[in-house]
Amino acid sequence: MNRNIFYILSLALLFTSCTKWLEEENRTKYSSDYIYSTEGGLKLAVNAVYTLLRDYGSDDPTVLALERGTDLAVTNGGTGNYFGIYDPNNLRPSSSQVAFMWKTMYGIIGKANEIIHAGEQLPDTDVLRATIAEARCFRAHAYFILYRTYDRIWLNTEPTTWQNVDDPKTYRAASTAEVFDLLYRDLDYAIENLDWQSEEPGRFNQATARHIKAMAALWIKDWDEALKQVDEIDRSGHYELIALDDVFRGADLNHREALMVQQWSRNPGGNLSTGTPLGNYFGAYFIASYRQEIGGTAEYACSYENWGYTYGRCLPSPYLFSLYDQSKDKRYNSYYIHRYKNTTDQPIAYGSVTVQPGDYFPLYKNGTLNRFVYPGSTKLGDIWTRSNPAETRSYKDFILYRLAETYIIGAEAALMNGDQALAKKYFNKTWERAGNDEFTGTLTIKDIIDEQARELAFEGHSERWYFLKRLGILIPQVKNYAGHPEIASSLGGRTNLPANPHFIRWPIPETEIINMGPENFAQNPGYN
């Protein structure tokens, strides 16, 4: 997608209303009438929804909240930490993260509904169908996130217009069948009307639609459908696994393994800003705050060699590292940083020892594990787009969906379908790429659970949380493995989640319950 999305186009779409001032002369051709009554206008409308999705990505406490609450994470303070430790005092319907996800996804759905409805009134063309298909992908993407997070959601496919804005609405929780029927219909339309690859990077395409449909199929145990979509992507010839070290390396991640990449840059127009986009904090989130041992918040304490400015909010658990064969599996080093260097020209006192320039800080300080130099994940790390190592925000591209996940989906679906040969074929795609010997034994669901962790941990879209929830093992996995035994503050989830089993879903935001009426749409169990 063109990274320079004009602010005026976003405003024309996102903030139209029925007030009288819009009836005055419009000084650009991008009026509300143009947006919703022409093929070109709807294309601009879709562009603006991409901006909305990127704006959502800039709110890291919400996007990464669920990432912190799995068996793979050592959650480590900061805004939204209570999601990682399942703190019953804060994980409540009044939480800002709970409201932000709900409102943003329904905002995307609302705009998608408007685009779809407007497109159906225009003369049919291939270009128009592709635009509608993108809007239907947005709707499916948003509803799928909402369903997996909240369990109970309101389905709405009608656009909001000045004619119906005040009409009474019927609020009720949709059934699982209703949700997945809509997902399948939207994604089937997209599969039929989108090319395998879009002309502009960052847009929904046929491969993305098929991948999302395969993910959705796993939730309703539609193994044949999941396998069909994985097979189509695998045989398309447009995508392939690339060298492991290249998957997340660089600012531009539009490579052949990536099915969809969210585009980030400093171009004006990002995140609904007339100035430079704000960027995201992904690059700082998953790497320990080593700078605390060098100079605190001082700029000189940061270095590209240690991956720049970091917050250290969500770090790898000992359980995750135990899943790698460290003598063979290249992901153990490619996806993580395991130690941090004194990059100054001065010796640094470190407990009872001194770390000389160029030497690495020991993990233990005076016999105690030091969370400031704890290993971190470099998948989202950014040493390419920051103007200097101390810059907090990142403009590196963000992979939403990639082929490695497609193959793991295929391995699970084939296993559940009783096809060991096919399951091993897909399993070995990522397993052997990482440097392991071919897997030839009997594949089990535990093998899938472990490979999903090894390959997909800490990619910033909470798939591990959804994966464990779907399999019904979120509670035991968190109880047994979350956090680090020597970092007491990271262990709350081991007791808080089992004691509060309703935390396997988020509460409906309290403001939304009030708006819909609790008699129509009751709060999720356990949050009343």
Question: What does the pLDDT read at residue 30?
Answer: 54
Same domain, 46 and 184: yes
State which of 396, 422, 441 marks the end of a domain: 396
Nearest residue to 82 (alpha-carbon basis) of 72, 100, 68:
68
CATH number (domain holding residue 490): 1.25.40.390
Answer yes or no: is 234 within a domain: no
80 and 64 in contact (C-beta within 8 Å)?
yes
Answer yes or no: is 445 within a domain: no
Question: What does the pLDDT read at residue 61?
Answer: 81
Burial 404-436 (b: 16+ CB within 10 A, else e): bbbbbbbbbbbbbeeeeebbbebbbbbbebbeb
Same domain, 380 and 470: no
264 and 280 in contact (C-beta within 8 Å)?
yes
Answer yes or no: is 217 within a domain: no
State which of 396, 423, 457 marks the end of a domain: 396
What number of other Cβ atoms are within 10 A of residue 65's Cβ? 28
Burial class of residue 268, CB neighbours in 10 A (0-12, 13-18, 19+): middle
Tell me the CA distances in angstroms from 90 to 77, 87, 308, 520, one per residue in order.
Answer: 14, 6, 31, 26
Q: What is the DSSP annotation of 439-500?
A: P-S---HHHHHHHHHHHHTTSSS-HHHHHHHHHT-HHHHHHHHSS-TT-GGG-THHHHHHH-
DSSP structure class, residue 2: -
Dihedral of alpha carbons 276, 277, 283, 288, sign: positive
Answer yes or no: is 524 within a domain: yes
Answer yes or no: is 508 within a domain: yes
How far is it, in rounded angstroms, from Cα 46 to Cα 119? 11
Dihedral of alpha carbons 471, 474, 477, 483, sign: positive
SS3 percent helix, strand, coil of the chain, rounded to 5, is: 50, 5, 45
The DSSP bridge partners found for residue 314 are 75
How far is it, in rounded angstroms, from Cα 307 to Cα 332? 17
Q: What is the DSSP annotation of 223-286?
A: HHHHHHHHHHHHHSSS-----GGGSS-SS---STTEEEEE---S-TTGGG-SSS---BSHHHHS
Query: Phi and psi of 74, rounded to 5°?
Result: -110, 95
Answer yes or no: is 491 within a domain: yes
Name the token pair of 9.
Answer: 């186009």
Same domain, 370 and 471: no
Q: Could you give the number of structural domains in the chain? A: 2
The 3-state DSSP class for residue 82 equals helix
State which of 381, 396, 411 marks the end of a domain: 396
Question: What does the pLDDT read at residue 275?
Answer: 57
Same domain, 34 and 126: yes
Which run of H or of E encompasses 376?
A: strand 376-377
Domain of 377 in residue numbering reads as: 282-396
209 and 137 in contact (C-beta within 8 Å)?
yes
Name the token pair of 201.
Answer: 């990077």
Q: What is the DSSP annotation of 296-357?
A: TT-GGG--GGGTSS----EEE-HHHHHTS-TTT-THHHHSEE---B--SSS-EEETTEEE-T
Same domain, 24 and 141: yes
Name the token pair of 39.
Answer: 């093929």
Question: What does the pLDDT read at residue 9?
Answer: 43
Same domain, 184 and 308: no
Q: What is the pLDDT along the chain (528 residues), one digit of tens a residue?
A: 444 443 334 444 444 433 332 333 444 455 677 788 899 999 999 999 998 888 888 777 888 899 999 999 999 988 888 999 999 999 999 999 999 999 999 999 999 999 999 999 999 999 999 999 999 999 999 999 999 999 999 999 999 876 777 778 889 999 999 999 999 999 999 999 999 999 899 999 999 999 999 999 999 999 999 999 999 999 999 999 999 999 999 999 999 999 999 999 887 654 445 555 678 899 999 999 999 999 988 889 999 999 999 999 999 999 999 999 999 999 999 999 999 999 999 999 999 999 999 999 999 999 999 999 999 999 999 999 999 999 999 999 999 999 999 999 999 999 999 999 999 999 999 999 999 999 999 999 999 999 999 999 999 889 999 999 999 999 999 999 999 999 999 999 999 999 999 999 999 999 999 999 999 999 999 998
Query: Phi and psi of 43, rounded to 5°?
Result: -60, -40
The 3-state DSSP class for residue 394 equals strand
Same domain, 288 and 380: yes
How far is it, in rounded angstroms, from Cα 308 to Cα 314? 16
Answer yes or no: is 343 within a domain: yes
Same domain, 379 and 471: no
Contacts of 454 (CB under 8 A, 6+ apart): 320, 323, 324, 329, 331, 430, 434
Same domain, 387 and 478: no
Same domain, 72 and 189: yes
Same domain, 38 and 187: yes
Same domain, 469 and 392: no
Q: What pTM did the predictor assign?
A: 0.92
Question: What does the pLDDT read at residue 268?
Answer: 60
How far is it, in rounded angstroms, from Cα 42 to Cα 125? 13
Answer yes or no: is 65 within a domain: yes
Burial class of residue 314, CB neighbours in 10 A (0-12, 13-18, 19+): buried
Contacts of 35 (CB under 8 A, 6+ apart): 12, 13, 16, 41, 42, 44, 45
Question: What does the pLDDT read at residue 31?
Answer: 62
